[in-house]
Structure 1
Amino acid sequence: MTRQRPISLRWLSTASLLALACAAPALAQAPAPPPSGETVPDAGASFPAVFFAQYNPVTAADMVARVPGFDLRDGDDRRGFAATAGNLLVNGERPSSKAAPSDLLKRIPAASVLRIELLSGSNSAIDIRGQSQVVNVVVNRATRADSATTFVAGLRHIQYSNRIGWALQLSRTLSLTPTTELALDIQAPNTLGRGVVGERLTSGAGVFTGTRYQVSKPNNRSIQGSASLRWRPSPADAVNLNLQYVPVWNGSESVQLETVASGVLRSSLDGDNAYKNNYSAEFGGDWEHRFGADLTVKLIGLVSHTSVDQLDSFDIFTAPAARTLRTQDRTTRSGERIGRMQVKWDATPAHTLEFGGEGAFNFRDTTLDIINQPQGGPAVRVPLAVANARVEELRGEVYANDIWTVGPRLSVETGVNFEVSRITQTGDQNKERSFNYVKPHLTATYAFDPRTTVRLVLQRDVAQLDFAEFSSAVDFLNTSTIQGNPDLVPERAWKSRLELERRFDQKAAITLAAFADRVEDVHDLVVVGGLDAYGNIGNGTRAGVEARATIPLRRVGLPNAELRLSGLYQQTRVTDPITGEERSFSIPLERQGTAAGSTTLNTANKDWAYLVNFRQNLPDISAAWGATLLQWAGREEYRRAEIFEYVRPKPRLDLFFETTAIKPVTLRLYVNNILVSSEERTRTFFQTDRSSGVVQRVEDRISLGGADGSRLVGFVISGRF
């Protein structure tokens, strides 16, 4: 069954992007002169720390968020250490950690940032490595005199929960010796929420058959401790070590009631989820040695481990008198070991060569036991295929890149990666497979003038496999089972992207992009052993347009105000393996900025999405205020005999007010998700499978509460001491 997207939304998304595209040439013809004392950046811009003072930053994350025309990315889920890196450098180096760049930036005090450089592919002096844009955060060395502790503390109330959550972060950089400094960071979020779900049940003919009501009460607590050591033993050597440990104490309680059409109780469920021995740990480091002005060798190592023990217990009542105790006991251990060497050689003034290799070992070990015990009866184990599985991957890769500065305006980066890997699965199913991939890439950057840059990116992309999809999983509350699939292969694609960037002055920029991908072995939902499973459904296409803009509003009578826009419209097409019809890619759940966190434009394979940020500084009262509007298209999951349709009828709207009037701290008050934007779900069941076209029953759900469907009110106080 193929669903037609609303025409109005298509035209709205397309018209918005075309308006931006039409505005760019007009602005380019008559760029506004820079204000007095303000310089016009070239294609790669540099923003001194004073540029961000108007935003009252506490950490480097606050500063990077205000770089005009730039969106920070936390890195793609791709194979290899380098491929997962985001578009962030610190002092010209990529962090030797798989922690999210957005999290790493929160550990750097704003007071230690000298400047932030926005670099494009035309700059070969610093490691761009395939990115169209990166930011380089230039940090000053800490001294004993200026060392201080940065703190962020806050309280928040999540709607429906009737409880107060809190968050605390402390960061400090210490100068141990003239050549050694240690950065320490600790975070302790405590999220206490409550979710409410109401469902209306109907037959395939639309006859009302009953209701379902569910209340969940999650309790999420964790501590994240990290340490980073930077040591410069000689002018030619640099050593960085990173350590992170995150123990987690999560749990939840759930109650579910289901009634027939007359309101009489049909069934009830009372359960809880407990997580024990739940933690993640990571240790990484790198050593860089300069053999001369032209030759640098860098060694990188990383070791990570994750442990989760989950015990679910459900007391189930079925009218008129049946009662069953169901338990699900799952253990998961996973880890990664990576070693990498990279050599950078400035062979000639026009050519910079990079080459090296990487070896990695990944594993995930899972067990799952499900037991039903009727009241007064014996415990019975529930059989489930691929419930116990250990998946291991041994992978090796070599690569070579050439960054060619053709002239003052044109640079071309070309390269190729070759990887071989072996994946072994043991447990309920035994299987071994080998893969090898050749991954060429090309990035060409041309600067028409110091303000206008065009980039062309062509690459062969291979997605990372999620080892969790090799073993089975059961969601009892949603009566959903996903079969483990040992035959899953990585999704691959030939990707192309053309991007135009125009910077009008220090604060105004616009980026327009068009992209087209030919995707092989599309990652989607398939049928294995009569059950739904993640797998591959053949070849497909992805194409669309994207826009970003930072617009100062002084010309429309709003001094010290700016608007930041991001938008995307795309189409994905693949042939459905069950119906034989063409449709969009099936989209699993993708979090896109929860009410408790910051908003992001996580588009994944959604048809369209937009993000609008407004901020106005009020210097007369040492304050600022602003708003964020976020919305994205619905999504579908196509299973064997079901279609899950998710829609958010209202956008998410956030408001904030912050002030530095209370010295020496910044106080921020906020209300997130004011409109209570929540996701509505329609679950349609078909007789036999979807190809029959015969609807068996429908469940319409409205979700309120939880991290995504709640209004959140809170405050944050931050500063340094």
Structure 2
Amino acid sequence: MRLHTTTALAAIGAATWLALSLGTSAQAQDIPPPPPPPFPPAAAANGVQTFQPAYFTEFQVSTAYDMVAHVPGFVFDGGESARGFSGTAGNVLIDGQRPTTKADLSNTLSNINAAQVDHLELITGGAPGIDMHGHRQIVNVVRKTDAKPNFSVLGIYRNLDARTNAGVLLFTFNDNRNGKSTDITADIFNFFDNGAQNARRVTTDNTGQQILNIFQHAGGTGIESQASHSRPLFGGKITFNGTYNPSVYRQTLTYDQDGAMGYESFIEKDTPSELGSQYERKLGHGLDLNLNVLNRHERVHDIDIYTDSDGTADYRALSLTDERILNGRLSWEKRDGLSFAVGTESVFNSLDRDSSYVTSGSDSTEYVRVQEDRTESFVSANWKATTKLSFEGELKVEASTISVPAANRSDSFTYYKPRFQAVYSFSDKTKISWKTIRQVDQLSFSGFASSVQLETDHVTLGNSNLVPQKDWLNTIIIEHTFWDKGAISLALEHYDYEDTSDFIAVVDDGDIYTANGNIGNSQWDIAHLKLDTPLDRLHVPHGTLSLEWYYRHSKVRDPITDQTRRVSGIEPHIYSVSFSQEFPKSGTSWGVDVESAGKNRNYLANELTDAFFDPWTQVWFQYKTPSKLTFKATIKNPLSLRFTQDRTVYEGLRGLSAISYTQHTTSKVPPMLELRLKKDF
């Protein structure tokens, strides 16, 4: 859990505010409502609701991401991290188009200054010229075409436990004028790993207890850079983009068990890069053309060395991944409210992984190459049947070939993936939607290669026989907006999976290993509740309470015990609660957040592993001056989050043999202080 990727979204005292909002709702009806905001969002027209910049004034937003986060009821989706382009889109567009890069969408939006934004559009169900990418809702960030160039500098200082320091220095430039736009971001950073904390591990077997003290420290350095430029070309617009984000992560560990010492050093060097281009043009007669070319490359080098009195274990792995994408889409708006689209995508992906595992008594090496050639074609239609009812339908055909030369495997797959979605508006404030979709997950290339955890002496074998996990999803969502800035939604989802991805057991000459594999059919049921409540009517001026809760129930038959259980790694409950209050006159704001940090169980071949994190909390204060200087102070994890992990290791197959030993590991993450200073020019 590295600090620069950790997010915390909710607050201490949130339960009190929730009780207040529920318990006083009846009395609130007797309180005269406050005057309407001076700039309410425009009423939805043809499924599009417009939010002008003045709507976000009281929230004191600084970036386009801040503005998106304050669209009532909208659930931000940054997109999938899968291979390919068309199936990885998030639910935010910029100037009506998806960004040309597969880089983190939240970072892309965070690097657009709010002063560059003309307005936001919340699109539900579909709108002319908008590719919904399978999402029920899309936010379109429309930038000003004549805004002054913006340059900003952001400095971040972080301190862990009053001893470890880290920081970020970020530069951002935006310019969007005369049909040309340029966006450049670059930062240099160092970071600490807030999950690499000193721990105590107690192992219990038939000989008694063994206590192991683990002292560890981890962190690293890196550079992140991203640039894009668009300009008119041949009656359309062409955009070029590139990213280069090298980083180095280091972890050192010392193990002390009754004076017997062990030492471990781990280093990972990660160098991802990307080059891409997008061309879009209106061809006339309602036809629009969109072409994308993208090339991605990543090099990851891992070195893990463990030494104790018995000798040395040395594990090394070098992974090279390549991705080449050619994507095209042609859309046609026959008339207002009816549009069609066809498109195709050709993708080549490959992974080359060379690894070695050397101990005092053995030496093993492995080379794995996995490559995938995939073509996906689609045809879709979006129909605004009435002012209240819209339909969207799509059929994708995916043809792919997975090759693993070392295993003499070359398999071809063809999948038909239909999607249907309907959205009905009872009123401007209340909507209901239904979606049915056939989904085919991508195979994780890492599942084809073996990996080693020296700390626990655990080996996970690669599996060259993996096939994609597939499912039918049916979901219904009802949403309601209230009090100008309030919204509540409830989504109920049901999944029927085939070839569920999980862990399987491999027995080799009496030795038992865990491997990634397919374990048959499973069912998932998910409930997702989201609530955004303005608290002005509850006598908390400019206050907002946000609540998000997931309940996930999964059911699969265990391939080892033949008993019903949940799928590995699926947390049953996830929640976040956030309270914030703005003081526009003074330019200040503050908030408190709470987020469930995790609880999951993994069913391995010969062990059962449970991990649990206490809820993550943070308290923050922000001051924004009239001279475009913003200061923000955040105390993260003030209650010292506790992490525990329990392992039950069996002599043979899990659940079918006697317990060999149990292991309990516990540690605490100390509080962190983060200071941010940003200047816009």
Q: Does the alignment reach a TM-score above 0.5?
A: yes
Deviations 1:325-377 (A, max 9, x none): 2222211100110101101001233421011111000001001112224xxxx
Partner letter of residue 547 of structure 1?
A: L
Residues 191-340 of structure 1 aligned to structure 2 (within 5 Å): 191-193=191-193, 195-203=197-205, 208-233=208-233, 236-258=235-257, 264-265=258-259, 267-276=260-269, 278-317=270-309, 322=310, 324-340=311-327
CA drift of 1:570 comes to 2.1
Residue 617 of structure 1 aligns with an amino acid whose one-letter code is E
**Greater shift in the superposed pair: 360-369 or 147-156:** 147-156
* Closer, same or farther: CA 653–18 of 1 in aligned 2, 3 Å: closer
Shift in Å at residue 50 of structure 1? 2.0
Equivalent residue number for residue 659 of structure 1? 623
Correspondence for 2:518: 536
Q: Give the SS at the match of 1:692.
A: coil
Tell me by how many angstroms 1:249 deviates.
2.3
**Do 1:17 and 1:546's aligned partners in 2 also have CA atoms closer than 8 Å?**
no
Structure 2 residue matching 1:39: 3-state secondary structure: coil
Displacement of 1:34: 6.6
- Letter of the structure 1 residue corresponding to residue 80 of structure 2: D
Q: C-alpha separation between the residues in 2 aligned to 1:289 and 1:244?
A: 25
Q: Measure how far apart 1:149 and its partner are.
A: 0.8
Alignment of 1:596-607 (within 5 A): 605-607=570-572
Helix, strand or coil at the partner of 2:135: coil
Aligned equivalents of 1:114, 1:667: Cα separation in 2: 25
Distance, in Å, in 2 between the alignment partners of 1:31 and 1:523 is 55
Superposed, 1:221-620 pairs within 5 Å as 221-233=221-233, 236-258=235-257, 264-265=258-259, 267-276=260-269, 278-317=270-309, 322=310, 324-373=311-360, 381-383=362-364, 387-427=366-406, 429-529=407-507, 530-587=512-569, 605-620=570-585
Deviation sequence 1:545-601 (CA, Å, 0-9, x none): 1111110111211101010111111210000111111011001xxxxxxxxxxxxxx
Cα deviation code 1:85-127 (max 9, x no counterpart): 1111001101121112111112211210111222111434422
For 2:375, give the aligned amino acid: G
CA distance in 2, matches of 1:641, 1:330: 25
Partner of 1:261: none
Q: Find the partner of 1:148 among 130, 147, 150.
A: 150
1:101 aligns with 2:105: yes
CA-to-aligned-CA distance 1:480-505 (integer Å, 9 cap, x gap): 21100111111110001100111114
Q: Distance in 2 between matches of 1:305 and 1:189?
A: 22
Q: Which runs of 5+ in 2 are unaligned?
A: 1-16
User: Cα distance 1:565–1:27, how it changes in 2: closer, same or farther (>3 A)?
Assistant: farther
1:232-291 superposed Cα distances (whole Å, 9 cap, x missing partner): 236x40111111011112222221122xxxxx33x4221222334x31110111111211
Matched, 1:159 2:140: no
Match of 2:12 in 1: none
| Length, aligned pairs only | 655
TM-fit CA distance, 1:652: 1.3
Alpha-carbon spacing, 1:395–1:663, altered in 2? closer, same or farther (3 Å) = same
Contact 2:608 2:648 in 1 (8 A): yes
| Partner deviation per Cα, 1:211-245 (whole Å, 9 max, x = no partner) | 112122212111011110111236x4011111101
Deviation at 1:202, TM superposition (A): 1.1
Q: Kindly indicate whether the alpha-carbon contact (under 8 Å) linking 1:78 and 1:462 is maintained by their aligned counterparts in 2.
A: no
Alpha-carbon distance in 1 for matches of 2:472, 2:336: 31
Q: How far apart, in 2, do the equivalents of 1:27 and 1:336 lie?
A: 56
1:377 equivalent in structure 2: none
In structure 1, the partner of 2:5 is none
The aligned amino acid for 2:677 is: I
3-state SS, counterpart of residue 378 of structure 2: strand
Say if 2:40 and 2:55, in contact at 8 Å, map to a contact too: no
Distance in 2 between residues matched to 1:294 and 1:182, nearest whole Å: 28
Q: 1:673 aligns with which of 637, 660, 674?
A: 637
Whether the 8 Å CA contact 2:607–2:647 is kept in 1: the answer is yes
Deviation at 1:314, TM superposition (A): 2.3
- Structure 1 residues 693 and 54: alpha-carbon distance in aligned structure 2, compared to 1, 3 A threshold: farther
2:3 corresponds in structure 1 to none
Which one-letter code corresponds to 1:397 in the other structure? E
Q: Say if 2:151 and 2:174, in contact at 8 Å, map to a contact too.
A: yes
Correspondences of 1:26-41 after superposition (within 5 Å)? 35-39=36-40, 41=43
SS at match of 2:145: coil
* Aligned residue in 1 for 2:188: 188
- Residues in 2 aligned to 1:19 and 1:533: alpha-carbon distance in whole angstroms: 50
Cα–Cα, structure 1 residues 270 and 419, in superposed 2: closer, same or farther, change >3 Å? same
What residue identity is the alignment partner of 2:169?
L
Out of 636, 646, 649, the position equivalent to 1:685 is: 649
Q: Distance in 2 between matches of 1:672 and 1:65?
A: 20
Query: Partner residue of 2:680?
Result: 720
CA distance in 2, matches of 1:466, 1:135: 30
Shift of 1:620: 4.5
Deviation at 1:19, TM superposition (A): 13
Distance 1:656 1:367, change over 3 A: same
Shift of 1:79: 5.6
Q: Specify the code of the residue in structure 2 equivalent to 1:643.
A: L
Runs of 4+ in 1 over 6 A off after TM superposition: 16-28, 30-34
- Which of 604, 611, 634 is the matching residue for 2:599? 634
Letter of the 1:563 partner, please give it: L
Structure 1 residues 682 and 192 mapped into 2: Cα distance closer, same or farther (>3 Å)? same
Distance 2:353 2:650 in 1: 32
- Which secondary structure state, in structure 1, belongs to the residue aligned with residue 617 of structure 2? strand
TM-score with structure 1 length normalisation?
A: 0.86
Equivalent residue letter for 2:266:
N
Cα offsets for 1:178-224 (capped at 9, x unmatched): 332321110222103452121111126xx741111212221211101
Unpaired runs of 5+ residues, structure 1, are 1-15, 259-263, 374-379, 588-604
> What is the DSSP-based 3-state SS (H/G/I as helix, E as strand, rest coil) of the residue aligned with 2:115?
helix
